[in-house]
Amino acid sequence: MPSPTQNAKAHDTLKHYFGHDSFRPFQWEIISESLNGSDVFALLPTGGGKSLCYQLPAILNDGLTVVISPLIALMKDQVDGLEANGIHATYLNSSLNKTEAKKRYAKLFAGEYTILYVAPERLMLSGFLDDLKQWNVTRFAVDEAHCISEWGHDFRPEYRQLSNLRRLFPEKPFMALTATATDRVRKDILSQLRLKEPKTFVASFNRPNLDYRIETKQAVFQQILRYIQSKPYESGIIYCYSRKATENLADKLRQSGIEALPYHAGMTPIKRAENQEAFIRDEIKVICATIAFGMGIDKPNVHYVIHQDLPKNIEGYYQETGRAGRDGLPSDCILYFSPGDVAKQLQFIADKNNPKERDVATTQLRQMVHYSESSECRRKVLMGYFSEDWTEGNCGNCDNCRNPKSTFDGTLPAQKFMSCIFRVQQASGFSVGINHIVDVLLGSKNEKVLKWRHDRLSTYDIGQEYRRQEWQAFGRELIRNGYIDQNTENHSVLELTRKGKSALRERSPIVLTQPSVANVTKIHPRGPSTGGIECNEELFTSLRALRKELASEQGVPPYIVFSDVTLREMARDFPIGESQLSEISGVGLAKLEKYGEAFIEAIQAFLDANPEAGIEDLKPSY
C-alpha cells in the first residue's frame, strides 16, 4: 500500500496539474497499485476518468509513460489537453510528416516527454521496439483495451503485437483500461497482454448522472424539436437508423433554426471529419448520426443522447447513451420507441442469409424491446444485462422510477389473446404472428383472415374494447413474461408456452401494464436545464463565449480550455482573484496562469455591470 506521504503527494499533484479536489471511484486504487509496480486491469464506465489513471502516475514517476491507443483522431486533443495542464506529452502516428516525427523522436531520445501516445500500428514498425528500449520507459498503458480481443467489437489485429511488448519489458508495470468488457473480452485481454497477477478493478456500470427515458414515438420530429428547444445551452447526439435519416433530420432541424449536421460512414472522410470537428468545437449543437459516430469522440459536454430509432442491441445502446454526461453533469438519454421499428428490424433480420447471425440478431433485438417496454427501473435492466445487481430500489432518475407505470388485472384480455393463439393453431394447424392474432381479435376482414376462415373462430371480433396498439402491447408483454413464445426461426409466429397453456386452462390471474398513451407535448419536469449546477446562466453564456474565443485562437476544442463544470462553478461562485479561481474544480496551475486573467476580467466585468448578481448568490442558504 502506498504511504500517507505518497497519498498526499498524489492529491497535491491532482490539484496542481488537473485542478481536481478528489479522485473518482477506483482512480486512487488503480493509480497506487500501478505506482507500486503491479499490473492493473481497470474497467471503468465512460466518463469514469480512465485517462487520469495513467496520467497521474506518469507525472509522479520519472521516465516515460507509453500509452497505446487505437484512437488516432483523439491523440492530438489528448496531448493538447495535457500540455494545457503543463504536462509534456506527444504522440506518434501516421498523421505526422517526416520532419515533425523526426523532431519528436529527438526529444524522446532526450527524455523530454512524460507521456507518449502511440497507435498500435507503430509497434510493428521495424526498429520501434528497439527505440522504446532507449527511452527510459516507466510504464505502459493500453487504452481501449477491448480492441485487443477478437470478441471486442473493433478488434485490431495489430494489437496481437502487444504480447511482444510484454516479453521485451517483463519488469515494467502494464495497465489495461477499457469501458467495455464482457467476461469473455476480459479474459481475452488478460491473456493477450500477459498481465502478471493483475490487480483488477471493476467499477459499477451505473452512470448515476444519466436519466434514461423511453417515449412512445409519434410525430418524432416534433418530439425531438421540442426537446432540443428546451435545452438551449446544451449539445447532443441524435442516433438514427439509416444514413438518409441522419441527413433528413439534420436538414429539418436546421430549417427550424437548430445548428445540426449529419454524420455517417457514407460521407467523404473530409466531410465527416469536418462535421465531427464542428460538433467537438461547439460550432454546432447537434449531430445527427448513425452508430458510426462516437468511437473517436471525447467531448465531455454532450448532455443528451437521443435514439430516434430503436437500437439493435443493448450493448450498443449502453455505449451510445454512455457518450452523454462524461463530465458528470446531469444528462438525458431518450429513446423513441415504436412497435413499427421492431417490425422493420425483424424484417431486416429475416433477410439475413446466415441462420446463426439471424438468431443472434433476433435475441439481441428481443432484449432491446424488453428493455424498452419493461416497467422496471431502466438502470436495473441495463445493469442486469452486464451481470450487475441494482439493489437500491427506486433510482429516481429514469422514467419508470419517476412515474411508475400502473398495472391492472389483465386476466381477461390475456385470456382472449392466448385463446386466440390456441384457436388459430387448432383450426389451421399452423401458428401466426402477432399482427394476425390482433386482426382476428379486432374482427378484421383482411385477405388472410378470410382466406384461412379465421372469421369463423370463436375468438373472432371479441377484442373491440382495446385498440390495435394496445393489443399489440399486451401480446408483447405476454411474450416478455413467458406466456407466449415468439418463434424467431419461423417468421416470429406465436406459440403458447407451457406456462401460457396452464394459465389459459386454469384462468390464473395475470397482471398487465396499463396501456400508455403517447404524450407528444411532455417535456421533462426538470424544465430548462441548469446543467445540475445552479449558476448565473447569463455569466455562464458569456464565459462560454470567452472559452470558445480562446480555444479557436489556439486551435483546440473548447473543452481543452475549461470544462462546462468549471465554467458553471465560476458562474456560481464569481471568483475574482487568483486564489479564489484556483479553488474552482478543473483550474490547475498551468491553466490559472494561462487563462486566469481573462476569466477573472470577464467575471469582474459582469459583476460591474450586474452588481446585484454576486450579492444575491452570496446569500447564505439556510
Binding site for ligand ADP (CB under 6 A): 20, 23-24, 27, 44, 46-52, 298, 300, 326-327, 563
Q: Where are the alpha helices (DSSP H) in 460-526?
A: 468-480, 498-506
Which of Zn ion, ligand ADP, none interacts with 300 (beta carbon under 5 to 8 A by kind)? ligand ADP
Which of ligand ADP, Zn ion, none interacts with 50 (beta carbon under 5 to 8 A by kind)? ligand ADP
User: Minimum CB separation from Zn ion for residue 109, in Å?
Assistant: 54
Q: How many residues does the chain have?
A: 622
Which of ligand ADP, Zn ion, none interacts with 11 (beta carbon under 5 to 8 A by kind)? none
Which of Zn ion, ligand ADP, none interacts with 419 (beta carbon under 5 to 8 A by kind)? none
Which of ligand ADP, Zn ion, none interacts with 32 (beta carbon under 5 to 8 A by kind)? none
User: Minimum CB separation from ligand ADP for residue 569, in Å?
Assistant: 11
> SS3 for 31?
helix
CA dist 397 and 385 (Å) reads 18
Taking a C-beta distance cutoff of 8 angstroms, is the pair 428, 422 a contact?
A: no
Q: Of 49 and 57, which has the nearer Cβ to ligand ADP?
A: 49
Which of ligand ADP, Zn ion, none interacts with 398 (beta carbon under 5 to 8 A by kind)? Zn ion
> Rounded to a whole number, what is the distance in angstroms from the first to the last CA of the chain?
42
Q: Of 22 and 363, which has the nearer Cβ to ligand ADP?
A: 22
Torsion angle defined by CA atoms of residues 142, 145, 148 and 150, in that order, rounded to the nearest 10 degrees: 180
Q: Of 74 and 539, which has the nearer Cβ to ligand ADP?
A: 74
Q: Of 27 and 459, which has the nearer Cβ to ligand ADP?
A: 27
Question: Which amino acid belongs to residue 283?
Answer: E
User: Minimum CB separation from ligand ADP for residue 211, in Å?
Assistant: 18
User: Minimum CB separation from Zn ion for residue 100, in Å?
Assistant: 50
Which of ligand ADP, Zn ion, none interacts with 46 (beta carbon under 5 to 8 A by kind)? ligand ADP
CB-based burial label for 357 (10 Å; 0-12, 13-18, 19+): exposed
User: Minimum CB separation from ligand ADP for residue 2, in Å?
Assistant: 17
> SS3 for 68?
strand
- Give me the DSSP letters along 323-372: TS-TTSS-EEEEEEE-HHHHHHHHHHHHT-S-HHHHHHHHHHHHHHHHHH
Torsion angle defined by CA atoms of residues 535, 539, 543 and 544, in that order, rounded to the nearest 10 degrees: 70
User: Minimum CB separation from ligand ADP for residue 326, in Å?
Assistant: 5
User: Minimum CB separation from Zn ion for residue 533, in Å?
Assistant: 23
Question: Which amino acid belongs to residue 154?
Answer: D
- State the residue for C-alpha cell 486533443: 77
Site of interaction with Zn ion (CB under 5 A)? 377, 379, 395, 398, 401
CA 257 to chain CA mean position, Å: 27
Taking a C-beta distance cutoff of 8 angstroms, is the pair 46, 322 a contact?
A: yes
Vertex 354 angle, CA 348 and 357, to 5°: 70
User: Minimum CB separation from ligand ADP for residue 43, in Å?
Assistant: 10
Taking a C-beta distance cutoff of 8 angstroms, is the pair 152, 146 a contact?
A: yes
Which of ligand ADP, Zn ion, none interacts with 377 (beta carbon under 5 to 8 A by kind)? Zn ion
> SS3 for 211?
strand
Which of Zn ion, ligand ADP, none interacts with 486 (beta carbon under 5 to 8 A by kind)? none
Q: Of 23 and 460, which has the nearer Cβ to ligand ADP?
A: 23
Q: Of 52 and 571, which has the nearer Cβ to ligand ADP?
A: 52
Question: Which amino acid belongs to residue 436?
Answer: H
C-alpha cell at 11: 492529491
Q: Of 46 and 65, which has the nearer Cβ to ligand ADP?
A: 46
Q: Of 145 and 335, which has the nearer Cβ to Zn ion?
A: 335
User: Minimum CB separation from Zn ion for residue 371, in Å?
Assistant: 12
Which residue, judged by CB position, is nearest to ligand ADP in the bound state? 49
Q: Of 87 and 398, which has the nearer Cβ to Zn ion?
A: 398
